[in-house]
Amino acid sequence: MRVRFTDDARDRWRFAGLGLAALLIVTVPSLLLLRLSHESVNAANWVAHTQAVSARLYILQADIRDVESAALTLSKGVESEALQQRLQRADDISDTLQELSRLVSDSPAQLLRIGRMSSMLERRMALAKQIASSAESPRQRELINEMAFGYPVREIAMELQRDENELLVQRVAAAVRQQRLSTVVTWATMAAQLLLLGLVLWLLKRQMGHRTRAERSMLQASARASSVLQTVREPIVLLDGEQRIVLHNAAFTELYSEDGADDDVNGRLLHTVGDGAWADGMVRQRLADVLLRGRELWDYEHEQRGADGRVRFMLINARRMPLPDTEDEVVLMTVSDVTLQRAVQLRVEELNRQLEGKVAQMEEVNSELEAFSYSVSHDLRAPLRHVAGFSDKLARHLGEDADDKAQHYLKVIGDAAQRMAALIDDLLVYSRLGRGAMRMQAVDMQSLVADTRAMLDSNLRTESEADSDARSVQWNIGPLPVMVADENMMRQVWLNLLGNAVKYTAGREHAVIDVSAQQLPDGSQQFTVCDNGAGFDMQYAGKLFGVFQRLHKASDYPGTGIGLASVRRVLTRHGGRIWAEAQLGQGATFHFVLPPSAPDAHS
């Protein structure tokens, strides 16, 4: 698991490492220097020790020479107190040998030499005393030869001196190495301490830079927060436990100051601000509960009367908030003036009540209109049947006796009756489209268009056989999607649109009808029906989808003028829309859009 350290944690670890480094740099070199100093002192002591041994050897040899020279001089018959004193030094030689033994006690080889030298010197000093007392003695020469050559002390002394000199060279070299090492360690320690000092200064400078930037950022953030606080147009205030104002913005003083000026109300109790606007005990109790019990106050509506005498409706929101610089908690309260919204809401409620009344009236009127339309359409059928029936009977009654004018009148009466019957049927269909409940289901537009085309092609063949005038229609039908809709209503849409395309291309020898669909960015589907028929003038396009609105003569193109109105009604109920584009004599294009999701079936 990866651990992410904050800047404070990294700083703590960094300073801990720096302290440990400082401790090591100060302590380790000190201990090392102390040890090197101790070793240097030891080396110096050993040098002094070697020099002391050399000095004792020199003294020993000098004493031997003094004793022997004094003995030889006395043997010649010279009487001298000084010579006698020098001869007595033979007794001090043993003390010198003991001192040498103590000095070279660390070297067994030297101790052996001292032992040999001691035995030789003891005998040699005895011979010296005999020589001093044997003046003119026949054995004097023999004694001198034995003293000089029988006990070679000089060679032993030279061996002692040579070994001590070698030890002196080694110990001097060791002392020099220790001195050099001490110097190197001293300089290295000084360099490390200087580096540590530089690192400490760099870290201090960096820390000061961080602190300066942090303080600058805090000042900038505080300035931004203060700017935002003072710019907000909603009054904002902080309250302590006694409901004393700790902090506020300009909007608060502008709204609640007595003289309208931006007075500083910090430190004042809330109920003393705003000329009694906050004197309501219920509001103060709720604000106290926010701080004491941690309850939040949301959208509490309070009616206030300000210093200007105006009644305002204020929306109060409050919650408990800890202060970042202390351990105290305060209440953060925001106040929103919803007087205008309240007035608008009241007006909207009043308008809604009026609209509900109008809607009820419209529903009643629509019900009456539908009842009237249904009643009229059914009541008109009987007179129409009578007109059509008696017109037919009259034609049969007159038979061949009817002249051309009478036959013309009878034909006009019959055609008018048929047209009236067609109008009544279309009115009933239009009424049902707006009144019936929608049955939403998946509708395959491809199959629906194919069925409609087959029915229209069948009608064209029937008309061609009756009139002996063949018509060819080229159908270009693209892929069409499956939509959720009312199948019967959508059948009426395609029947009217494709039927109009066939009808208004009657004047073309080669009619072309295109049907296509495309998905729009919002997921809805746009369907297009395009023909190369008569078209229409676009300045009258606004009348195209009205009831009984026609842009062509009934004698040129039959119809009641209700088909496109029915199409728009169906698409409106499905949440869609329809529009048309055309040029007179160059065909027309109808577009309609269905949303991706169907509306409520009872809409």
pLDDT of residue 593: 92
Percentage of residues of the chain with pLDDT beyond 70: 75
pLDDT of 233 reads 78
Structural domain boundaries of the chain? 7-195, 233-337, 343-436, 437-603
CA dist 190 and 196 (Å) reads 10
222-245: average pLDDT: 81
Nearest to 268 by CA among 249, 246, 289: 246
Considering the four listed CATH numbers 3.30.565.10, 3.30.450.40, 2.40.50.360, 1.10.1670.10, the one that applies to the domain covering 437-603 is 3.30.565.10
CATH number corresponding to 233-337: 3.30.450.20
Whole-number pLDDT of residue 549 = 53
pLDDT of residue 516: 93
pLDDT for 476 equals 92
For residue 195, the model assigns a pLDDT of 83
In the prediction, which pLDDT does 335 show? Answer: 86
Which of 134-138, 199-203, 341-345, 430-434 shows the lowest per-residue confidence on average (mean pLDDT)? 430-434
Tell me yes or no: is domain 343-436 CATH 1.10.10.
no
More confident residue, 105 or 456: 456
Q: What is the mean pLDDT of the chain?
A: 76
Residue 316 DSSP symbol = E
pLDDT at 530: 92
pLDDT of 320 strictly over 70 = yes
pLDDT, mean of residues 298-310: 77
Percentage of the residues of the chain whose pLDDT score is greater than 90: 5
Q: What's the CA gap between 503 and 513, in Å, rounded?
A: 11
Beta strands 329-337 and 236-239, pairing class: antiparallel
Strand partners, 312: 304
Q: With 50 as the cut, is the pLDDT of residue 603 above it?
A: no
> Is pLDDT at 5 greater than 70 in this prediction?
no
* Residue whose structure tokens are 């034995």: 146
**pLDDT for 479-504, tens place per residue?**
999 988 888 888 888 988 888 888 87
**DSSP H stretches of helix in 104-249:** 108-133, 140-145, 153-231
Q: CATH 1.10.3470: does it fit domain 7-195?
A: no
Q: In sequence order, which residues have a C-beta less than 8 Å from that of residue 483 and are 6 or more positions away?
A: 442, 443, 445, 490, 525, 594
Residue 532 or 94, more confident? 532
What is the structure's pLDDT at 529? 92
pLDDT score for 601: 40
Sign of torsion, CA 445 447 453 458? negative
**Whole-prediction pTM:** 0.40
Burial class (CB in 10 A: 0-12, 13-18, 19+), 278: buried
pLDDT confidence of 465, banded at 50, 70, 90? low
Query: Per-residue pLDDT averaged across 210-234, rounded?
Result: 80
**Strand segments (E) across 216-343:** 236-239, 245-248, 297-305, 311-322, 329-337
Start-to-end C-alpha separation, the chain: 59
**163: buried, middle or exposed (CB in 10 Å: 19+, 13-18, 0-12)?**
middle
**What is the spatial order of strands in the sheet that 329-337 belongs to?**
245-248, 236-239, 329-337, 311-322, 297-305
What local confidence, expressed as pLDDT, does residue 431 receive?
A: 61
Q: How confident is the model at residue 555 (pLDDT cuts 50, 70, 90)?
A: very low
pLDDT of 528 over the 90 cut = yes
What sign for the dihedral angle of Cα 172, 174, 180, 185?
negative
Looking at residue 381, its pLDDT comes to 65
* Amino acid 602: pLDDT: 38
